[in-house]
Homo-oligomer: A and B are copies of this chain.
Amino acid sequence: MTQVLVQRTADAALRTRAASVIPGGMYGHMNAAGLPEAYPQFMTRGEGSRVWDADGNEYLDFMCGWGPIVLGRKDPVVEAAVRAQLELGDLLDGPSPVMVDLAELLVELVPHADWAMLAKNGTDATTACVSIARASTGRRKVLVATGAYHGAIPWCTPRPGGVLPEDRAHLGYFDYNDVASLEAAVAEAGDDLAGIIVSPVRQELARDQEMATVEFARAIRTVCDRTGAVMILDDVRCGFRLDLGGSWEPLGVQPDLAAWSKAIANGYSLAAITGRDGLRSAASSIYVTGSFWYSAVSMAASMATLTQLRDTDALARMAASGQRLRDGLAAQSAAHGFVTTQTGPVQMPLLRFADDDAGSTLARTWTNEAVKRGVYLHPVHNWFLSAAHTSDDIDLALERTDDAFAELARLARQG
């Protein structure tokens, strides 16, 4: 049986210190307070497909920093580009030439893109897209899918604290993959429809992921063409992991604007907005900026990331590893007598138990046992693979998840 990790001394000490100087001990998506008990809060290092927690425990990493790590941690080409740019300088008094290189590369890679803007957070990008849509059309209403995540400021954050009704006064809602509900929301917006923002995949917590149907994607495109509204693809989470041209390229549907972040620079902080020529003047009419938006290091990292994704078989290898993991987990769960679903792109997997309760107890117990055995998954949020995950990594992870299933079965038998 694979080794079961238990030591959490350093992590516990850090949590105690954090509890006194950080509200709630931690916040945001990396808050481990809601995770099963064996999950560490603090991590100290990463390499390739591995991360280590503050107690020195090693994990096969299937969260990839919640998405940004796409080539693997400390990718040598990206790290060399980062160090070379650090030698020159990061934040100067104007942008570095690499900003132009990167904007050109985005325009080359992304079919709808005639231009690009760069920012820091995914929320910066989605928010700018909404502003550009409103500035361009002179209209107010923006439609979003119920339950979709588009960022964490008042117009979009998933928790109500600090949010006023006015922050969302001109949002309308439709159900993902439901063309009739989309049409109803469009009708309700009437001649005030500025745009529709949509994620390429439905990815809500503790819920099977849902790939967009081609009918749904086309319906959004058609509605926007018909009404003059701006179609915004929020490719922050999926972008540069599934298809370099955008996550709806396989469906043959192109947006007018897209928001990008996460995988764009293999972990370095960067976001981007791409758009069509028709939105160029609206994009330059809005005022968006940030103190670090012109920092060159993350742009150099992005150049090294995107060119490798373009010029190597990294995406294909990632997909193959994802498929190998999915096949292995499907066989294991069946062998241990569990009915599971595995949904979403294989590069962004999620495993759920068909008979799980509302609290996802089975998923939490199973991922907890996996974490104890050195496999870092998530009980309710989609996971992420990187190009650094080899078939040996997948096989080792499967060896450990098999033990986790066995332990889950044993616990289930105990009642």
Q: Chain A: residues with CB nearer than 8 A to chain B?
A: 10, 14, 17-18, 20-24, 26-30, 32, 40-47, 51, 53-54, 59, 61, 63-69, 73-74, 79, 82-83, 86, 88-97, 99-100, 103-104, 106-107, 114-117, 120-124, 127, 130-135, 140, 152-155, 157-159, 161-164, 166-167, 169-170, 236, 261-262, 267-269, 275, 280-295, 298, 376
Contact = CB atoms under 8 A, between A and B. Distances in A.
Contact of A285 (B135, B159, B289): B159
Nearest to A282: B161
Given A73-B89, A268-B295, 10 more contacts: A23-B117, A40-B94, A46-B88, A65-B91, A82-B86, A91-B268, A120-B292, A133-B162, A157-B287, A167-B167
Contacts of A42: 94-97, 99-100
A124 B127 contact: no
A286 B131 contact: no
Contacts of A115: 20-23
B22 A117 contact: yes
15 contacts: A14-B100, A22-B99, A22-B117, A28-B289, A43-B96, A46-B89, A122-B291, A131-B163, A134-B162, A134-B164, A152-B288, A159-B285, A164-B169, A166-B166, A269-B269
A167 B89 CA distance: 37
A294 B27 CA distance: 10
A26 B95 contact: yes
Of the listed residues A68, A93, A104, A262, the one surrounded by the most CB atoms of chain B closer than 10 A to its CB is A93
A302 to B, nearest CB: 13
Given A93-B51, A154-B127, A284-B23, A17 B100 contact: yes
Contacts of A376: 93
Contact of A286 (B104, B161, B164): B161
A260 B51 CA distance: 30
Nearest to A151: B290
Contact of A32 (B68, B94, B153): B94
Nearest to A93: B63
Nearest to A292: B269
Given A51-B89, A92-B65, A284 B27 contact: yes
A161 B131 contact: yes
A103 B18 contact: yes
A269 B295 CA distance: 8
A27 B262 CA distance: 22
Contacts of A51: 89, 92-93
A64 B90 CA distance: 12
A67 B91 CA distance: 10
Nearest to A119: B121
A155 B121 CA distance: 17
A132 B162 contact: yes
A280 B295 CA distance: 32
Nearest to A101: B17
Contacts of A135: 161-162
A227 to B, nearest CB: 18
A403 to B, nearest CB: 21
Given A122-B290, A153-B288, A94 B41 contact: yes
Contact of A17 (B104, B117, B281, B298): B104
7 closest A-B pairs by beta carbon, nearest first, are: A28-B289, A131-B162, A24-B284, A269-B292, A159-B287, A46-B89, A43-B92
A10 B287 CA distance: 27
B153 A153 contact: yes
A122 B292 CA distance: 9
Contacts of A53: 94
B100 A18 contact: yes
A124 B269 CA distance: 14
B161 A166 contact: no
